[in-house]
Amino acid sequence: MSPDATPHLPPTFNRLAWSNLAAQSAEQIALAAAPIVAVLLLGVGEGQSGLLQTALTLPFILFAIPAGLLADRISRRRLMAGAEALRAAALLAILLLIWLGLLTLPLLALTGFVAVCGTVAYSVAAPALVPSLVSPQLLPAANARIELARTIAFASGPALGGVLVGWVGAAPAFGFAAALSVIAVVLLSGIYEPAREPVPRRHPLQDIKEGAAFVLHHPLLRPVFVTQFVFNTAWFVMLAVFVPYAVRRFGLSAFGIGTVLAMYGVGMMVGALVATRLMRRLAFGTVIGLGPVTGFVAAVVMALTIFIASPWLAGLSFFLLGVGPILWVISTTTLRQSVTPPRLLGRVSAINIMSYGARPLGSALGAIVGGFYGAEACLYLAVAIFGSQALVILLSPAVSLATQPEMVGDGPAVLRAC
């Protein structure tokens, strides 16, 4: 294959990619529609809206590990199909409650919670399924395709959800999201998943311990997990104070703030499109290091707005925060898939999702520091935290990798080496 040749991914993987696009779009539309419906249809205030958002994020913390256990014990394709069917059923329940005039905030929170449980299981199983559908050489291209679909959903889903609620009402918005989930299930039904070795039945805590020990003792995966946890903390420290800071410092309107924030999605799109070419031209470890370093540069650019009140600098910062993490996700997902025994992929993927638990920590830290010392102090703090996560990965052996590691098997020697 020439350096600029476009890799041809197998049809069975393409079905997964389209399913992923439909599933991610359904998630984003529903997540955008839920608070709009809560405010406009149910008349809830800020405090109740915050409780709703909490209900919609809790499954990532509560059920990532159980989903990982299931992904390593049963068919990953069937787990994803079942999870997506669960989300479709929850969204259809919301649709029915709206039509019957029975929707309340507790019911919206409950059904939304169930829908996000489906999201968690799908998100954990998908990266574990990919290596069984493509060759090791195509993993970077496959992960880039998955992330491109996720990026499109993240960029367009919230806007589409708002437009649907505004134009055709709340019920059709949830109905459209449910239809996308059904399409995702249908696409999954056409995927052939190679059979795996039967997994011996053990106590779930033993399986959890095995997966956690593998990540925390692995010389490549441990610094990746720490870096991702610290990155999420710093990112949400900055995000917690940006909107009031932008209004006060730049005098931006709601449209202006939305435009600046949209640069994050633009950056994600650009990163997903160029990732495969970068990974063919640069050393594998160099691409891994680009994400954390770009995050640090983005934080410095945002801190410069304290001295230069330019929304263009803020937009550049968000653009870099979009480009860097996408390159990071694609390269580190490929790394995990390469060095993790197939029977552990579900649990290792789940532990990766658990790093998102740093987001509420970062938001709380931003709220406390911003409340006592102002948004500027949060921006300086974000620079320091982003700098620390860049150091963690730059001092790790991961950045010295010249090429993508060879795929490992399920032999006991692999586990003993870590």
Q: Taking CA 72 as the corner, what is the angle to CA 178 and CA 121, rounded to the nearest 5 degrees?
A: 20
Which residues lie closer than 8 Å to 10 by C-beta, 6 or more apart?
A: 133, 134
What pLDDT does residue 411 have?
54
In terms of Cα–Cα distance, which of 251, 218, 196 is closest to 339? 218
Nearest to 331 by CA among 392, 278, 371, 269: 278
* C-alpha to C-alpha distance for 278 and 299, rounded to whole angstroms: 23
pLDDT in tens, 215-257: 989 999 999 999 999 998 898 888 777 878 888 888 877 667 7
pLDDT of residue 410: 59
| Residue-range domains of the chain with CATH | 10-194 (1.20.1250.20), 203-403 (1.20.1250.20)
Measured CA to CA, the distance from residue 220 to residue 399 in angstroms comes to 9
d(CA 267, CA 275): 12
The C-alpha atoms of residue 194 and residue 156 are separated, in whole angstroms, by 34
CB 360 within 8 A of CB 229: no
Output the six-digit token pair for 341.
């025994």
Tell me how far CA of residue 137 lies from CA of 7, 276, 326, in angstroms.
9, 11, 19
Measure the CA–CA gap between 256 and 237, rounded to whole angstroms: 21
Phi then psi for residue 276, to 5 deg, are: -60, -45
Burial per residue of 307-331, b for 16 or more beta-carbon CB atoms within 10 angstroms, e otherwise: eeeebebbbbbbbbbbbbbbbbbbb
Question: Is residue 193 over pLDDT 90?
Answer: no
Q: Which two tokens stand for residue 72?
A: 């390593």
> Measuring CA to CA, which residue among 23, 85, 87, 34 is closest to residue 56?
34
Task: Give, in degrees to the nearest 5, the angle at Cα 333 between 258 and 190.
Answer: 90
Quote the pLDDT of residue 31. Answer: 77
Indicate the DSSP class of residue 5: P
Contact criterion met (CB below 8 Å) for 254 and 381: no
Q: Tell me the pLDDT tens digit for each residue of 263-281.
A: 887 888 888 888 888 888 9
* Helix 221-250 with 254-281: angle, nearest 10 deg: 150
CA distance 378 to 381: 5
The CA-atom distances, in angstroms, between 134 and each of 58, 160, 193 are 33, 32, 11
Note the pLDDT of residue 273. Answer: 86
What is the average pLDDT across 346-354?
Answer: 84
Distance between CA atoms of 85 and 78, rounded to whole angstroms?
10
Please state, in angstroms and rounded to a whole number, the distance separating the CA atoms of residues 315 and 285.
Answer: 28
**Alpha-carbon span 362 to 360, nearest angstrom:** 5
What is the average per-residue pLDDT within 80-109? Answer: 92
Q: What is the pTM of this model?
A: 0.77
| Residues in CB range of 255: below 8 A, 6 or more apart | none
What percentage of the chain has pLDDT greater than the value 70? 89
Which of 178, 128, 140, 135 lies closest to 26, judged by CA? 178
Q: How far apart are CA 147 and CA 153, in angstroms?
A: 10
Residue 162 confidence (pLDDT): 65
CB of 268 closer than 8 Å to CB of 155: yes
What are 156-169's pLDDT values in tens digits? 766 666 667 667 66
CA distance 160 to 346: 31
